[in-house]
Structure formats: C-alpha cells, structure tokens
Amino acid sequence: MEASSWVDQVKPKLSQLSPNLETVLCVPLIHMELIRQKLPLSKIGAQNISTYPDGAYTGEVSARMLAPLVNYALVGHSERRRHFHETSTEIALKVTQALDNNIIPIVAVSGQNWLEQFNHFQPHELSRCLIMYEPPEAISRQTGPVGEGDAAPVEEVLPIIAQIKRSAPNSPVLYGGSVKSHNIAKYLEAKIIDGVVPGSASLNAEEWLRLMAISQEIRG
C-alpha cells in the first residue's frame, strides 16, 4: 500500500525533528486512521470539509465527523475552486463549520481574491485561521503532469504576503505553490512568511524528508 510505504519511510526520521517545527499532514480521508495509528504524535489536517452540519447530506463529511480525527482542514484550495467551482460564500461556510468544531482552517487564497474572500469572514473567525497564499501564476503554470508547476519568485510573493498580513494581522500566512526541496529555503528565509505548504512534493517520502530537513535547518 502506497500510504503505508510512505509512513514506514518517514516514521524513523520524525523523532529527529525539532518540537519547534510545527508539521501538519493533510491526508486523504481514507488514510487518516493509518496516520493516527502509525504516527500518533503527528498533527493531521483534512483536505476538505463540508459546508453543511450533520444531516441528510449523503456523501458529505461534516466538521463534527472530522473533529475527533484532525487538528486542521484545508479550505478553498485552488484545485477546489477550479474543478469544483467553490465560491467565496461556500468557503466562508466551511470556515464557520470548522471553527465551530474546534478545527483550525487553513484558508487558501489566490491573487487578489483574498480581499473579496476576507469580506465573507467575521473578524473573530479570520483571526483563528491560517492563511495560505497561492500565487495565480504558479497555479496557471501547472499545465503539465501534477506537481510540475513553477513556484512564484519570492520577490513577487513578499509584497502580497505583507498586504495580507495588514488585513489579517493575527493570522499566520503561509506560502503554497510548487514548493520543492530546491526552492523551499528562499521562502523560509523570508521571516514574513510563517510557513510553507508543499503539495505533490510531499507524496515522495524522500522528498518530504528533504523538505523537513531544510525546514529544520532554517526554522527549527
């Protein structure tokens, strides 16, 4: 099983990570129990969450269902917006559901849509979220196989991060967009960026361990 192989490669190295380095594994729903059993000290995030509370919503996974399993939930990822046409209103509903069930939302924003997105949140909600900035140019470059996009130049990212922080001063802001071991350092070396969100690079255990080693060296 691919997920089991990933865990077996990663587990021996986890004890070497500094406790100051906060790591969240956002895994598919079907692998959550595996991660909980084999990596019991890991913080887990959901890759999506329902807009609805408990009820007759066949196929939906509500925040209350996820609450015993996860610490975080990705909300509004660019792929959810693009392929499932999620709206800012729906994303705001997901944030409310997550927070009402003590799940920390990692809210993905892209380009200038964060300005519009933030208008859908209550101030007390925004201050309890993590914000992940996904540059539109990094997303649009991902026209080849999954994970072969180009990261945005850090000098283009920093002004946007600064703007987001002025609008959400109490929310940590992360960079997400084709983060790999060969480029992660330049984002982590920028103190204004509170962390990074690697995507497909994390599927490879060796690459994920390289990402962690670099993160520890810079931020640990």
Catalytic residue among 2, 60, 77, 217: 77
Instruction: Tell me if residue 75 falls in helix, strand or coil.
Output: strand
DSSP, res 40: T
> How far does Cα 69 stand from its chain's mean position?
16
Q: Is 155 a catalytic residue?
A: no
173: which 2 tokens?
């802001």
Q: What is the Cα–Cα distance from 175 to 155, expressed in whole angstroms?
A: 12
Q: What is the Cα–Cα distance from 81 to 109, expressed in whole angstroms?
A: 10
Instruction: Name the burial class of residue 123, with classes exposed (0-12), middle (13-18) and buried (19+) by CB atoms within 10 angstroms of its CB.
Output: exposed
DSSP, res 58: T
Alpha-carbon torsion angle 92, 94, 95, 99, nearest 10:
140
Of the candidates 122, 183, 120, 123, which has an alpha carbon nearest to the alpha carbon of residue 157? 183
Q: Is 134 a catalytic residue?
A: yes
Catalytic residue among 120, 134, 156, 189: 134
**What single letter denotes the amino acid at residue 83?**
H
Q: What is the Cα–Cα distance from 140 to 135, expressed in whole angstroms?
A: 9
Which active-site residues does the annotation give?
77, 134
